Amino acid sequence: MALQEILARMRAAEALAGRAAGSAQLIAVSKVQPDARVRAVLLEGHRLFGENYVQEAAGKWPGFRAEFDAPPGSLRVHMIGPLQTNKAKQAMDVFDAIHTVDRASLAEKLAKLAQARGACPELFVQVNTGFEPQKAGVLPDALDDFIATCRKMDLGLAGLMCIPPEAEDSAPHFAMLAGMAARNGLTGLSMGMSGDFEAAIAAGATHVRVGSALFGARAYT
């Protein structure tokens, strides 16, 4: 699907939900996509991207930033994959936001690094809304305590993120995430992917993460 078509579908979903145009942002998920496809989307003017791997992003984005980050700060890259604590420092150098804060040890590390550098990427707490044992994320019943812990560390939080179970209807998970964000005073909602971004926008998503619908299927090598 072309970039313009996805943006048009997003604007339609916003209108249908009675939301302001542009209140949901498109994160173009460029993990493992060939540089040529990413460049094509940059050339169309898109400036917000998502990556899953610190190493891959560290190799790919400095060059694209040098070429496309005008005016400075307009090009943003968000980390949407699991983050190892020992990669937190590098992640802070590479990313403008991290959507996968999911444990106290990582929060502590990020808080220390943020204090040392006097700046911090935007942070989202990943929530395991489906209670899936193999999936990352704070469990819903532990979330309020986790958020309080982050706040005690002076870690500013932008919002919540979820990846609903593959075999289930996403809508109840999106609604659950929106409710948890509201009750914790958080406005950011990172939810919705290629197959369900319109449902996510209907439920209040501020960031949808769309990969394959935009770039085509990923070829893992």
Ligand X SMILES: *Cc1c(COP(=O)(O)O)cnc(C)c1O
Q: Is 61 helix (H, G, I), strand (E, B) or coil?
A: helix
Site for ligand X in 114-173 (CB under 6 A): 163
Going from the C-alpha of 8 to that of each of 13, 15, 31, 167, 214, the distances in angstroms are 9, 11, 23, 27, 13
Binding region for ligand X (CB under 6 A) out of 56-64, 164-172, 175-183, 205-213? 205-213
**Residues 183, 187: Cα–Cα separation, whole Å:** 10
User: Cβ 101 to ligand X, closest distance in Å?
Assistant: 13
- Could you say whether residue 212 binds ligand X (CB under 6 A)? yes
**Residues 216, 33: Cα–Cα separation, whole Å:** 9
Interface pick for ligand X out of 101, 193, 200, 205 (rule CB under 6 A)? 193
Site for ligand X in 57-96 (CB under 6 A): 80-81
User: Cβ 185 to ligand X, closest distance in Å?
Assistant: 24
Yes or no: say if 106 and 155 are a contact pair by the CB < 8 Å rule. Answer: no
User: Cβ 37 to ligand X, closest distance in Å?
Assistant: 13
| The total number of residues written for the chain in this structure | 221
Interface pick for ligand X out of 23, 25, 90, 194 (rule CB under 6 A)? 194
- Tell me phi and psi for residue 192, to 5 degrees: 105, 130
Beta-ladder partners of 97: 78, 122
Binding region for ligand X (CB under 6 A) out of 108-116, 128-136, 152-160, 206-214? 206-214
Interface pick for ligand X out of 30, 33, 52, 206 (rule CB under 6 A)? 52
Total chain residues near ligand X (CB under 6 A): 13
Beta-ladder partners of 25: 207
The one-letter code for the residue type at 113 is L
Alpha carbon 32 to its chain's center? 16
List residues binding ligand X (CB under 6 A). 29, 31, 52, 80-81, 163, 193-194, 209-213
